[in-house]
Amino acid sequence: MYSLYNTLLLLASLGALPYFAIKSLHTTKYRAGLRQRFGHVSPEIALALRGVRPLWLHAVSVGEVIAAVPLVSALRQRFPHLLILISTVTETGQATAREKMAGAACLYFPLDYPWVVHQVICRLQPRLFLMVETEIWPNFLRELTRQAIPAILVNGRISPRSFRGYRRLRPFMCRVLPAITSFSMQTKLDAERIIAIGADPSRVHITGNIKYDLAFEPLTSPDERTFRADLGIGEAPVFMAGSTHRGEEDIVIAAYLRARLQVPALRLLLAPRHLDRLDEIEALLRKHQLLVHRRSHGRLSSQSGAAPVLLLDTIGELAKLYAVGTVIFVGGSLVPVGGHNVLEPAAHRKAILFGPHMHNFHQIATALLEADGAVQVHNPEALGEHVSMLLLQPERRQVLGEAAYQVLRANQGAITRTVELIAQVLSQQT
């Protein structure tokens, strides 16, 4: 089965090679960390690991990196002697890891070719490998087993779509999953799904979702006023759309224009998920005759004809910026992406809106809706209706925001349970 997997992997790589070669000529996104992806360990990392076996944590992109920040902090407290190595797949994930996890060695995750993963694991020799959510690479896990290195699936989640795919591959997954020492799953349903595709039930634990254990500091009122002044929005109400995807910006703009008819001072803070789309989004905003200011271009005076739309083009600020929003829409949910982290605005007691496509955050979205801590909009027109309504109803905003915050607080503790599980595995090593 591994021979078949590697044959298919090689054929897929050869087929995609022309596409990536062309893309690499035009954008750094496809060139970033290329040598590391093929097994090169930089001199900086080699120097940092001199005679040290690190704890290796893998987080695919920005969302997983941010979720892992409090886990890394807890691990550093519990195991101060261990060096932590962070790997990501995306360029933005790498930048976020370097910013949020100062002191950790960072690298790009290797491609899952047998000769590549063998070389990397031999060079790095981690004491333990942690993978955030469900990032299962067969050859990598097989090589860990060969070198007697334990692996833990942290904050494990199996989406309905992933579950259907894994079920079809169950005979192969039954060979791959034994390489994972322990499964730390978010919910009972996630635990049942990982067992159904081949995990040993005795290795599966329900520890909760570490995303509830957000590392954040709520802004005080004076701090928020200072932050608003720095953003150039003054005291104006703000409709904020975070982590939007293609197809959602049009809907957000329509909702903003509709709401502005009732609240003329309203500002729009738009934070696209992928920064390589900034030019496209700015052109769309200008098509609607909206003045735009990019966050990276510096402070814009709120007293001098400030642009009504602030376009967030920086990395790692979104969770903090939610503090200035009056009404928050979290993207990836009006298009079939699966949603993004709605707990970040909940931490600031904000009124939250999201669309029907929340399968990547199903448990969190359900908990918020059941507690009256968020509003789910089921079509584009409904977004404008709810934004307008909430802007005119401060009491309703307060009820939603407080309920969302209480859901966040009630479900914390996953970090502690996860660290205990990691400690058990580490204690079994000689």
Q: Kindly tell me the sign of the dihedral angle through the C-alpha atoms of 382, 385, 388, 389.
A: negative
Catalytic residue among 44, 64, 135, 344: 64
Which alpha helices (DSSP H) does 147-216 contain, by range? Answer: 160-168, 170-176, 188-196
Burial of 200 from C-beta contacts in 10 A (0-12 / 13-18 / 19+)? middle
As a whole number of angstroms, the distance between CA 193 and CA 363 comes to: 14
Give the DSSP H or E segment for 370: helix 362-370
Phi, psi dihedral angles at 268 (to 5 degrees)? -115, 125
Q: Kindly tell me the sign of the dihedral angle through the C-alpha atoms of 312, 314, 315, 320.
A: negative
| CA distance to 57, 324, 332, 334, per residue, from 244 (Å) | 27, 18, 6, 9
| CA distance to 29, 53, 75, 271, per residue, from 70 (Å) | 27, 22, 9, 23
As a whole number of angstroms, the distance between CA 185 and CA 153 comes to: 8
Q: How far apart are the first and last CA of the chain?
A: 32
As a whole number of angstroms, the distance between CA 91 and CA 238 comes to: 30
CB-CB contact of 292 with 286 (8 Å): yes
Sequence-distant (≥ 6) Cβ neighbours of residue 206 within 8 angstroms: 185, 186, 187, 188, 190, 191
As a whole number of angstroms, the distance between CA 122 and CA 2 comes to: 20
Give the DSSP H or E segment for 105: strand 105-108
As a whole number of angstroms, the distance between CA 110 and CA 87 comes to: 9
317 is an active site residue: no
**Where in the sequence numbering do the catalytic residues fall?**
64
